[in-house]
Amino acid sequence: MFTTRLISGIVLVAIALVVVIAGGPLLFAVTCIISLIGLFEFYRVLGIEKNAVGIAGYLTAIAYFGLLWFEGQQYLELVVILAVMICMTIYVVTFPAYKTEQVTGAVFGLFYVPVMLSYLYQTRVMPDGKFLVWLIFLSSWGCDTCAYCVGMLFGKHKMAPVLSPKKSIEGAVGGVVGAALLGLIYGAVFGEEMMKVDSPMAVCAAACAIAAVISQIGDLAASAVKRNHDVKDYGHLIPGHGGILDRFDSMIFTAPAIFFAVNFLAVRIL
């Protein structure tokens, strides 16, 4: 299992390097595909992956990415509102075929997976995005690695004993500090290339620290959903890791966190 997980991890990193460096249509397409697969996995847990509200969710996600590609952001709220209306219409017309939580889950899933993951692409296309987008990975995967190492060495106090018994407060703090240090180092190395970011070392470190805190919430949130529905993994697409949501659960949170943190911290980027 460890060998399989290691090989899969290496392949994922290699794919991420190629796709993110290329950016543009390739990154957009991959982000869209990953989002739709992740949405399918989430809907499958809710039992709506193949019915009317699920299909409405997929179509809305595709429409959302279509508007994003054609820079029609002013209509994104309209798409989401229409999704709510369509799902509620299905709920009423087919009553009592669906439970309330299935209909609300269909709409929630749109925000949870496609909308939040789309910030991977949105960060890449912003000014200095070819550098800033890597903060998403540093704060997500870097936090996971640092938290695991610190937790194994010094972990004594359980952070979420019911959701994740192996996670400790010490590990969580270590993950945030480690991500911040990685951001600081990254800013020191590539800061001179960032033309629109003031104090890149401080911005990168702070953004990674903020996103690292949020990434751990994302990890636990995904675990909570699985536990509530007695599911071990969201899928089996990635050998040794599970599904898209099993591997990208924290990145779903770090992508928008980095996007907004950088925009807030580096005022010249807008």
Percentage of the chain lying above the pLDDT 70 cut: 96
Mean per-residue pLDDT, 48-55? 93
- From the list 119, 153, 151, 148, the residue with the least C-alpha distance to 136 is 119
The C-alpha atoms of residue 147 and residue 161 are separated, in whole angstroms, by: 16
Q: Given this model, what pLDDT does residue 5 score?
A: 65
The C-alpha atoms of residue 110 and residue 64 are separated, in whole angstroms, by: 9
Give the residue from 59, 89, 124 where a domain finishes: 124
Flag whether 15 is in a domain.
no
**Least confidently predicted of 114-118, 166-170, 179-183, 259-263:** 166-170
Q: Given this model, what pLDDT does residue 270 score?
A: 44
- pLDDT tens for 216-268 read 998 899 889 988 888 888 877 777 667 889 888 889 999 999 999 998 887 54
Flag whether 7 is in a domain.
no
Do 165 and 42 lie in one domain? The reply is: no
Flag whether 92 is in a domain.
yes
Q: Given this model, what pLDDT does residue 120 score?
A: 96
- From the list 43, 88, 94, 68, the residue with the least C-alpha distance to 229 is 43
Flag whether 6 is in a domain.
no
Do 150 and 261 lie in one domain? The reply is: yes
Give the residue from 91, 124, 157 where a domain finishes: 124
Flag whether 108 is in a domain.
yes
What are 49's strand-pairing partners? Answer: none
Q: Given this model, what pLDDT does residue 160 score?
A: 82
| Residue located via tokens 């590539």 | 190
Mean pLDDT rounded to a whole number for the chain: 89
Specify the number of domains making up the chain: 2
Tokens found for residue 264: 């807030």
pTM of the entire structure?
A: 0.91
Domain holding 34, by residue range, is 24-124
Flag whether 201 is in a domain.
yes
Q: Which residues of 238-256 are buried (b: 16+ CB within 10 A; e: fewer)?
A: beebbbbbbbbbbbbbbbb
Q: Given this model, what pLDDT does residue 10 score?
A: 81
Do 108 and 174 lie in one domain? The reply is: no
- pLDDT tens for 178-209 read 999 999 999 999 988 998 888 899 999 999 99
Do 143 and 235 lie in one domain? The reply is: yes
| Residue located via tokens 């909308």 | 115
Query: Strand 158-160 relative to strand 164-168: parallel, antiparallel, unpaired?
Result: antiparallel
